[in-house]
Amino acid sequence: MRVVADIPHPEIKITLLAWNGKYLIKLELGPFEQTYKVNELDVTGGDEEVKKWLDEEFLQQSIELFLTMRNNLHQARRRHDY
C-alpha cells in the first residue's frame, strides 16, 4: 500500500492511498474511519482527479456520517447496558 497524499483538513484526517489497482480514500475522525475504494481504471485523471472529489459537500456529508456512526455505537452500547 502506497500513500499518495495526506490532505490537510481542520477536522478530519484524510489520506489518499494506492493499493492493488485501487485508490483508497481514507477518512478518520477519532476512533471512526471511512474508506472509499475506487478502481484506478475508472479514474482518467489519476490521483489529482480523486483529490477534486474531496470538495466541501463530500467532506461535510462524511462528517455527518461520522456523527451517525458515533450515535449508532452509543445506542448499541446503551441497549446492552454499557
Domain range holding 20? 2-79
> Largest alpha-carbon pair distance within the chain?
50
Torsion of CA 31, 62, 45, 22, to 10 degrees: 40
CA distance 41 to 23: 10
Residues 55-77 have pLDDT tens digits of 999 999 999 999 999 999 999 99
pTM over 0.85: yes
- CB neighbourhood size of 54 (10 A): 18
Q: Give 15's pLDDT tier (boundaries 50, 70, 90).
A: very high
Domain tally for the chain?
A: 1
Owner of C-alpha cell 493499493: 19
